[in-house]
Amino acid sequence: MLLGSSSSIYVSLSDRAKLVPSLSSSAPFLNSLNGSYGLRFFSKRNVGCGVVAKVSKEAENQPILGIAFEPFEEVKKELLVIPSVPHASLARQMYTDQCEAALNAQINVEYNVSYVYHAMYAYFDRDNVALKGLAKFFKESSMEERQHAEMMMEYQNKRGGRVQLQSMLMPFSEFDHSEKGDALYAMELALSLERLNNEKLLNLHSLANENNDVQFVDFLESEFLVGQVEDIKKISEYVAQLRRMGKGHGVWHFDQMLLNGGVAA
Protein backbone atom coordinates (compact mmCIF):
# COMPACT_ATOMS: atom_id res chain seq x y z
CA MET A 1 0.00 0.00 0.00
CA LEU A 2 1.11 3.55 -0.65
CA LEU A 3 1.28 6.00 2.22
CA GLY A 4 1.09 9.76 2.09
CA SER A 5 4.24 11.77 2.55
CA SER A 6 3.12 12.66 6.07
CA SER A 7 2.89 9.01 7.13
CA SER A 8 5.76 6.95 8.48
CA ILE A 9 6.45 3.62 10.16
CA TYR A 10 7.71 3.06 13.68
CA VAL A 11 8.34 -0.09 15.65
CA SER A 12 7.60 -0.84 19.28
CA LEU A 13 8.76 -4.13 20.78
CA SER A 14 7.34 -5.89 23.79
CA ASP A 15 9.49 -9.00 23.39
CA ARG A 16 13.21 -9.09 22.54
CA ALA A 17 12.99 -12.53 20.94
CA LYS A 18 13.27 -12.95 17.17
CA LEU A 19 9.96 -12.03 15.65
CA VAL A 20 7.97 -13.47 12.78
CA PRO A 21 4.79 -12.07 11.21
CA SER A 22 1.62 -13.97 12.05
CA LEU A 23 -0.48 -15.09 9.07
CA SER A 24 -3.02 -17.16 10.99
CA SER A 25 -6.71 -16.45 10.82
CA SER A 26 -6.82 -15.83 14.56
CA ALA A 27 -4.26 -13.05 14.27
CA PRO A 28 -4.81 -11.09 11.07
CA PHE A 29 -1.72 -9.87 9.25
CA LEU A 30 -3.10 -6.33 9.05
CA ASN A 31 -4.76 -4.98 12.16
CA SER A 32 -6.67 -1.80 12.79
CA LEU A 33 -5.06 0.18 15.58
CA ASN A 34 -6.83 3.33 16.74
CA GLY A 35 -7.42 4.57 13.23
CA SER A 36 -4.05 3.43 11.91
CA TYR A 37 -2.79 0.09 10.64
CA GLY A 38 -0.07 -2.20 11.90
CA LEU A 39 1.51 -5.62 11.47
CA ARG A 40 1.04 -8.04 14.34
CA PHE A 41 4.14 -10.11 15.11
CA PHE A 42 4.71 -13.06 17.43
CA SER A 43 7.91 -14.51 18.81
CA LYS A 44 9.15 -17.93 17.78
CA ARG A 45 8.26 -19.11 21.30
CA ASN A 46 4.64 -18.37 20.40
CA VAL A 47 4.54 -15.59 22.94
CA GLY A 48 2.36 -12.76 21.78
CA CYS A 49 4.26 -9.51 21.62
CA GLY A 50 1.52 -7.19 20.54
CA VAL A 51 1.87 -4.70 17.75
CA VAL A 52 5.39 -4.46 16.35
CA ALA A 53 5.10 -2.34 13.22
CA LYS A 54 2.56 0.45 13.08
CA VAL A 55 1.72 2.97 10.40
CA SER A 56 0.84 6.31 11.91
CA LYS A 57 1.05 9.97 11.09
CA GLU A 58 2.26 10.56 14.64
CA ALA A 59 5.51 8.63 14.15
CA GLU A 60 7.18 11.02 11.75
CA ASN A 61 10.84 10.16 11.00
CA GLN A 62 11.01 7.44 13.66
CA PRO A 63 13.51 4.66 12.79
CA ILE A 64 12.61 0.99 12.33
CA LEU A 65 14.34 -0.94 15.10
CA GLY A 66 14.56 -4.44 16.43
CA ILE A 67 13.23 -6.48 13.50
CA ALA A 68 15.37 -9.49 12.59
CA PHE A 69 15.08 -10.98 9.09
CA GLU A 70 16.74 -14.33 8.44
CA PRO A 71 17.43 -15.85 4.99
CA PHE A 72 16.31 -19.36 4.14
CA GLU A 73 18.50 -22.08 5.55
CA GLU A 74 19.65 -23.14 2.05
CA VAL A 75 20.83 -19.65 1.26
CA LYS A 76 22.62 -19.39 4.59
CA LYS A 77 24.54 -22.59 3.85
CA GLU A 78 25.60 -21.25 0.42
CA LEU A 79 26.80 -17.99 1.92
CA LEU A 80 28.84 -19.82 4.53
CA VAL A 81 30.75 -21.71 1.83
CA ILE A 82 31.60 -18.72 -0.36
CA PRO A 83 33.95 -16.83 2.01
CA SER A 84 36.23 -19.88 2.20
CA VAL A 85 37.24 -19.35 -1.46
CA PRO A 86 39.08 -16.08 -2.21
CA HIS A 87 37.29 -13.92 -4.81
CA ALA A 88 34.58 -16.55 -5.26
CA SER A 89 31.61 -15.66 -7.45
CA LEU A 90 28.31 -14.97 -5.71
CA ALA A 91 26.41 -15.77 -8.92
CA ARG A 92 27.87 -19.24 -9.49
CA GLN A 93 25.38 -22.08 -9.05
CA MET A 94 25.43 -25.61 -10.47
CA TYR A 95 28.23 -24.63 -12.88
CA THR A 96 31.01 -27.21 -12.95
CA ASP A 97 34.72 -26.59 -13.43
CA GLN A 98 34.57 -28.91 -16.44
CA CYS A 99 31.98 -26.75 -18.20
CA GLU A 100 33.90 -23.61 -17.34
CA ALA A 101 37.14 -24.95 -18.85
CA ALA A 102 35.38 -26.27 -21.95
CA LEU A 103 33.72 -22.92 -22.60
CA ASN A 104 37.10 -21.17 -22.33
CA ALA A 105 38.45 -23.61 -24.92
CA GLN A 106 35.51 -22.83 -27.24
CA ILE A 107 36.15 -19.11 -26.85
CA ASN A 108 39.66 -19.77 -28.13
CA VAL A 109 38.25 -21.70 -31.11
CA GLU A 110 35.95 -18.80 -32.01
CA TYR A 111 38.82 -16.31 -31.82
CA ASN A 112 41.09 -18.51 -33.96
CA VAL A 113 38.44 -18.87 -36.65
CA SER A 114 37.92 -15.12 -36.57
CA TYR A 115 41.67 -14.63 -36.96
CA VAL A 116 41.82 -16.84 -40.07
CA TYR A 117 38.85 -15.06 -41.64
CA HIS A 118 40.52 -11.71 -40.98
CA ALA A 119 43.62 -12.94 -42.81
CA MET A 120 41.42 -13.96 -45.75
CA TYR A 121 39.87 -10.50 -45.77
CA ALA A 122 43.33 -8.92 -45.94
CA TYR A 123 44.32 -11.20 -48.85
CA PHE A 124 41.28 -10.52 -51.04
CA ASP A 125 41.50 -6.79 -50.29
CA ARG A 126 44.96 -6.54 -51.90
CA ASP A 127 45.29 -4.35 -54.98
CA ASN A 128 46.59 -7.26 -57.08
CA VAL A 129 43.71 -9.55 -55.99
CA ALA A 130 40.88 -7.01 -55.73
CA LEU A 131 37.98 -9.36 -55.08
CA LYS A 132 36.04 -6.93 -52.91
CA GLY A 133 33.02 -9.18 -52.48
CA LEU A 134 35.09 -11.97 -50.98
CA ALA A 135 36.96 -9.43 -48.84
CA LYS A 136 33.63 -8.14 -47.52
CA PHE A 137 32.33 -11.67 -46.87
CA PHE A 138 35.38 -12.77 -44.88
CA LYS A 139 35.55 -9.51 -42.93
CA GLU A 140 31.91 -9.94 -41.86
CA SER A 141 32.59 -13.59 -41.03
CA SER A 142 35.55 -12.56 -38.87
CA MET A 143 33.43 -10.04 -36.99
CA GLU A 144 30.68 -12.63 -36.47
CA GLU A 145 33.07 -15.18 -34.96
CA ARG A 146 34.53 -12.53 -32.68
CA GLN A 147 31.02 -11.60 -31.60
CA HIS A 148 30.39 -15.26 -30.78
CA ALA A 149 33.52 -15.31 -28.63
CA GLU A 150 32.38 -12.20 -26.77
CA MET A 151 28.91 -13.69 -26.21
CA MET A 152 30.57 -16.72 -24.64
CA MET A 153 32.74 -14.49 -22.47
CA GLU A 154 29.65 -12.65 -21.24
CA TYR A 155 27.96 -15.96 -20.48
CA GLN A 156 31.04 -17.21 -18.63
CA ASN A 157 30.88 -14.16 -16.38
CA LYS A 158 27.12 -14.50 -15.99
CA ARG A 159 27.48 -18.04 -14.64
CA GLY A 160 30.28 -17.04 -12.27
CA GLY A 161 33.11 -18.57 -14.28
CA ARG A 162 36.45 -16.97 -15.08
CA VAL A 163 37.40 -16.09 -18.66
CA GLN A 164 40.89 -17.30 -19.54
CA LEU A 165 42.00 -16.25 -23.01
CA GLN A 166 44.58 -18.44 -24.70
CA SER A 167 47.17 -17.89 -27.42
CA MET A 168 46.14 -18.02 -31.09
CA LEU A 169 47.94 -19.64 -34.01
CA MET A 170 49.26 -17.42 -36.77
CA PRO A 171 47.01 -17.88 -39.84
CA PHE A 172 48.13 -18.20 -43.45
CA SER A 173 48.53 -15.00 -45.41
CA GLU A 174 48.46 -16.58 -48.91
CA PHE A 175 45.39 -18.37 -50.25
CA ASP A 176 46.14 -18.82 -53.93
CA HIS A 177 46.09 -22.39 -55.26
CA SER A 178 47.55 -23.55 -58.55
CA GLU A 179 44.61 -25.80 -59.41
CA LYS A 180 41.60 -24.45 -57.52
CA GLY A 181 42.38 -20.74 -57.54
CA ASP A 182 42.17 -18.48 -54.53
CA ALA A 183 38.38 -18.04 -54.30
CA LEU A 184 37.52 -21.75 -54.24
CA TYR A 185 40.47 -22.63 -52.02
CA ALA A 186 39.53 -19.99 -49.44
CA MET A 187 35.86 -20.95 -49.47
CA GLU A 188 36.68 -24.64 -49.01
CA LEU A 189 38.88 -23.68 -46.07
CA ALA A 190 36.01 -21.62 -44.64
CA LEU A 191 33.69 -24.62 -44.96
CA SER A 192 36.20 -26.79 -43.10
CA LEU A 193 36.44 -24.20 -40.33
CA GLU A 194 32.65 -23.98 -39.96
CA ARG A 195 32.32 -27.77 -39.81
CA LEU A 196 35.12 -27.96 -37.24
CA ASN A 197 33.50 -25.23 -35.18
CA ASN A 198 30.17 -27.05 -35.32
CA GLU A 199 31.83 -30.25 -34.12
CA LYS A 200 33.38 -28.40 -31.19
CA LEU A 201 30.00 -26.86 -30.29
CA LEU A 202 28.30 -30.26 -30.41
CA ASN A 203 30.97 -31.68 -28.10
CA LEU A 204 30.39 -28.75 -25.74
CA HIS A 205 26.64 -29.42 -25.89
CA SER A 206 27.21 -33.07 -24.97
CA LEU A 207 29.38 -32.04 -22.04
CA ALA A 208 26.69 -29.67 -20.79
CA ASN A 209 24.16 -32.51 -20.97
CA GLU A 210 26.47 -34.86 -19.07
CA ASN A 211 26.74 -32.26 -16.30
CA ASN A 212 22.96 -31.73 -16.25
CA ASP A 213 23.48 -28.03 -16.95
CA VAL A 214 20.15 -27.13 -18.55
CA GLN A 215 20.96 -23.41 -18.74
CA PHE A 216 24.21 -24.08 -20.58
CA VAL A 217 22.44 -26.39 -23.02
CA ASP A 218 19.79 -23.76 -23.72
CA PHE A 219 22.45 -21.09 -24.30
CA LEU A 220 24.27 -23.22 -26.88
CA GLU A 221 21.11 -24.29 -28.68
CA SER A 222 19.47 -20.88 -28.87
CA GLU A 223 22.55 -18.79 -29.70
CA PHE A 224 24.86 -21.01 -31.77
CA LEU A 225 23.82 -24.44 -33.01
CA VAL A 226 20.96 -23.38 -35.27
CA GLY A 227 22.96 -20.59 -36.88
CA GLN A 228 25.99 -22.86 -37.30
CA VAL A 229 24.02 -25.33 -39.42
CA GLU A 230 22.71 -22.47 -41.56
CA ASP A 231 26.24 -21.13 -42.12
CA ILE A 232 27.48 -24.57 -43.16
CA LYS A 233 24.64 -24.88 -45.68
CA LYS A 234 25.34 -21.43 -47.15
CA ILE A 235 29.08 -21.93 -47.53
CA SER A 236 28.52 -25.42 -48.97
CA GLU A 237 26.47 -23.82 -51.73
CA TYR A 238 29.22 -21.25 -52.36
CA VAL A 239 31.77 -24.05 -52.70
CA ALA A 240 29.51 -25.91 -55.14
CA GLN A 241 29.05 -22.78 -57.26
CA LEU A 242 32.76 -21.97 -57.35
CA ARG A 243 33.60 -25.53 -58.37
CA ARG A 244 31.35 -25.10 -61.39
CA MET A 245 32.95 -21.79 -62.33
CA GLY A 246 36.58 -22.81 -62.17
CA LYS A 247 39.20 -20.03 -62.07
CA GLY A 248 37.86 -17.97 -64.96
CA HIS A 249 35.57 -15.01 -65.43
CA GLY A 250 32.81 -16.58 -63.34
CA VAL A 251 34.77 -15.86 -60.15
CA TRP A 252 34.37 -12.12 -60.81
CA HIS A 253 30.58 -12.52 -61.15
CA PHE A 254 30.52 -14.57 -57.95
CA ASP A 255 32.51 -11.84 -56.20
CA GLN A 256 30.05 -9.21 -57.42
CA MET A 257 27.19 -11.28 -56.00
CA LEU A 258 28.83 -11.23 -52.58
CA LEU A 259 29.59 -7.53 -52.90
CA ASN A 260 25.94 -6.76 -53.63
CA GLY A 261 24.62 -8.75 -50.69
CA GLY A 262 23.94 -12.05 -52.48
CA VAL A 263 22.26 -10.50 -55.53
CA ALA A 264 23.82 -11.28 -58.89
CA ALA A 265 25.17 -8.20 -60.69
Q: Does the annotation list 174 as a binding residue?
A: no
97-124 vs 132-158: helix crossing angle, rounded to 10: 160
CA distances to 124, 183, 184, 211, 251 from 240, rounded to whole Å, are 20, 12, 9, 39, 12
Tell me the C-alpha distance between 130 and 16, whole Å. Answer: 83
**Amino acid present at 58:** E
Q: Is position 253 annotated in a ligand binding site?
A: no
What is the DSSP track for 220-255? HIIIIIHHHHHHHHHHHHHHHHHHHHTTSTHHHHHH
Report yes or no: 233 and 191 within 8 Å, Cβ to Cβ: no
Consult the annotation and say whether 228 binds a ligand: yes
Alpha carbon distance 81, 77 (integer Å): 7
Binding site members for Fe cation: 110, 145, 148, 194, 228
- Binding annotation: 110, 145, 148, 194, 228
